Amino acid sequence: MPSLGPAGRGGARRRTRRRMNKRANTTAPATASAPTTASTPATSDPMDKLKKLGELHDAGILTDEEFSAKKADILSKI
């Protein structure tokens, strides 16, 4: 039985995988229009924002003053 060599079994797959990896590494990264943090996803729904704000307050991350100020800010934009 003849030897298939590097182009035989799996060789084409490896070359294709390498080409795809090169393309993925050379594409320009997407630019974000506004920076976001991992802990607070950006949402446009005021109810979602108020729910998340309440969770942060209940967890003790936000003080009463911070909670009240941010809540008033969110409600003023409705």
The H or E element containing residue 36 is none
Helix, strand, coil in percent for the chain, rounding step 5: 55, 0, 45
Decide if 37 is inside a domain: no
Decide if 49 is inside a domain: yes
Decide if 36 is inside a domain: no
Decide if 2 is inside a domain: no
At residue 16, the pLDDT reads 63
Average pLDDT over residues 45-69: 96
Cα 37 to Cα 7: distance, rounded to the nearest angstrom: 46
Give the pLDDT confidence of 2-49 residue by residue, as tens digits. 555 555 556 666 666 666 666 665 555 555 555 455 555 566 899 999
pTM of the model: 0.45
Decide if 23 is inside a domain: no
